[in-house]
Amino acid sequence: MERWEITLPDCAGIPRQFAVCENDTGITLLKCLDNQTEQIRIPAEIGGRPVTVIGEGCFMDLRKLTEVIFPETLREIGVQAFALCKSLRRVILPDSVTEIRACAFRDCRGLEKVRLSPNLRRLRAGVFGFCCLTDPEFEIPEGLEIIEEHAFYDAGYFTLHLPDSVRGIGRGAFHYGPKAVTHLPYDKGWYLDFPYGEMLRFADGTEGTVIGYNDGGYGCLILQADCGGKQIKAFYPCAGGEYTFADEKSQARMNRYAKELTHTEQQYQMFLNGYL
């Protein structure tokens, strides 16, 4: 992939340096090389070819960036393209955009208005994570179908109106985030994180699914598992071997987590003695 640098004027006419390359459909903006950029109008064409992609991390951590005007040629916004742009106020996407990659706008804490493209079908994981917004104007047009896990993780406490086209919402999509108004049946898993929904296998052969959890102190959790209609409590991370996760990756995650926490054994004993 051949890369070259060009100069683009910002909204005040000040020249700003960018790295770009060609893709199958046109031009990709790879990186804004000037961290003093505040307002930029992305051109529809560069060298006679349409600008179709804003690449991975292109504007990442530009703390002074307040406004970006997107061209009607744009199709895709890459992973973490605007992550940590904490002064960015508005995201008004043209109808041409069909893909926004994971964490594209994470930690954009200054957002006041967001308008998504009606041709966008999926909101990727963490796309607006950690934005901590307060009452933003957020427009999700008819056409969106899937909201992935953690899409609005810690995005702030506000009401998010979802169109009837949304048919799937991932676990933890709104964890510490907005309240969703939707036609879909309520699922508390939208507002909970791992290990909600995981299947457990207890030492006596009983199997169950995690349906909730409470704080157990020092990073530990008290899980509520549904085992064929019977409610069983379990300690996470497991300190006594009374259960394992059915999913190997989840079990490996618990094993790592248990090693990182302090006071796990102390809290586990409190759990066994009925204090938690």
- Domain assignment of residue 133, yes or no: no
How far is Cα 161 from Cα 223, in angstroms, rounded to an integer?
31
> What pTM was computed for the model?
0.89
HSE, CB side, 13 Å, CA atoms: give it for residue 181: 7
- Domain assignment of residue 260, yes or no: yes
Domain of 222, in residue numbers: 199-272
HSE, CB side, 13 Å, CA atoms: give it for residue 247: 12
How far is Cα 32 from Cα 39, in angstroms, rounded to an integer?
12
pLDDT at 2: 84
pLDDT at 1: 67
pLDDT beneath 50, residues of the chain: none
- Domain assignment of residue 220, yes or no: yes
- Domain assignment of residue 3, yes or no: no
- Domain count along the chain: 1
How far is Cα 26 from Cα 21, in angstroms, rounded to an integer?
9
- Domain assignment of residue 120, yes or no: no
Amino acid, res. 58: C
- Domain assignment of residue 218, yes or no: yes
- Domain assignment of residue 101, yes or no: no
Residues 6 or more apart whose Cβ sits within 8 Å of residue 155: 128, 129, 130, 131, 132, 133, 174, 176, 177, 178
- Domain assignment of residue 238, yes or no: yes
